[in-house]
């Protein structure tokens, strides 16, 4: 069994209108949410074997913040193709993950996180909010066998649930 965690980046900072979408950081609420969600992950004893993240600034900061707070000490892989990615692109990246990793965080954007989540589960998620986490158990032993409709949702959490 493999475990996949689809994570949308934390709330981004729109205060500097001159910044490109790619270069937006996190606002105060987004930074705070990292601590909230990291505590939930720690309480659930979840530390991934590998983190893949979009190379956009807000996703990098989200991945780095979560990694630090949950005690993930491995390298985070920043992937340009996860920025503005089609769900099919994300699927291909997941299929290419080395099988030595059983637990994977993919930190990305919306609408892709919501779309891919809905493609993998029997349930329906209207929207994965900022720093929402969709946890899936996959009935596979090889990432190359990763397919649509094969995930079993373990949980779906987001910061406002923990206020």
For the chain, give every domain's residue range.
2-10+22-162
How do the pLDDT tens digits run along the chain, 163 residues long? 999 999 999 999 988 888 898 999 999 999 999 999 999 999 999 999 999 999 999 999 999 999 999 999 999 999 999 999 999 999 999 999 999 999 999 999 999 999 999 999 988 999 999 999 999 999 999 999 998 877 899 999 999 999 7
Residue 21's contacts (CB-CB under 8 Å, 6 or more residues apart) are 56
Tokens standing for 7? Answer: 């994570």
Peptide bond into 102 cis (omega under 30): no
Instruction: Kindly report the pTM of this predicted structure.
Output: 0.96
Q: Does residue 110 contact residue 133 with C-beta atoms inside 8 Å?
A: no
Tokens standing for 35? Answer: 């601590």
- Selected from 3.40.50.1240, 3.20.20.70, 3.40.50.720, 3.40.50.300, the CATH number assigned to the domain covering 2-10+22-162 reads 3.40.50.1240
State how beta strands 133-138 and 76-79 pair.
Answer: unpaired
């Amino acid at each position: 069994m493999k475990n996949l965690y689809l994570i949308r980046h934390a709330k981004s900072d729109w205060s500097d209108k001159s910044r490109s979408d790619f270069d937006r950081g996190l606002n105060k609420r987004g930074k705070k949410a990292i601590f909230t969600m990291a505590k939930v992950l720690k309480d659930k004893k979840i530390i991934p074997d590998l983190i893949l993240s979009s190379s956009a600034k807000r996703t990098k900061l989200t991945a780095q913040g979560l990694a630090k707070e949950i005690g993930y000490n491995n390298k985070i892989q920043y992937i340009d193709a996860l920025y503005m990615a089609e769900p099919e692109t994300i699927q291909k990246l997941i299929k290419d993950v080395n099988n030595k990793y059983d637990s994977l965080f993919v930190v990305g954007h919306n609408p892709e996180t919501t779309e891919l989540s809905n493609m993998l589960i029997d349930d329906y998620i209207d929207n994965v909010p900022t720093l929402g986490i969709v946890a899936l158990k996959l009935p596979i032993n090889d990432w190359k066998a990763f397919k649509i409709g094969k995930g079993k949702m373990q949980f779906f959490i987001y910061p406002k649930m923990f206020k």
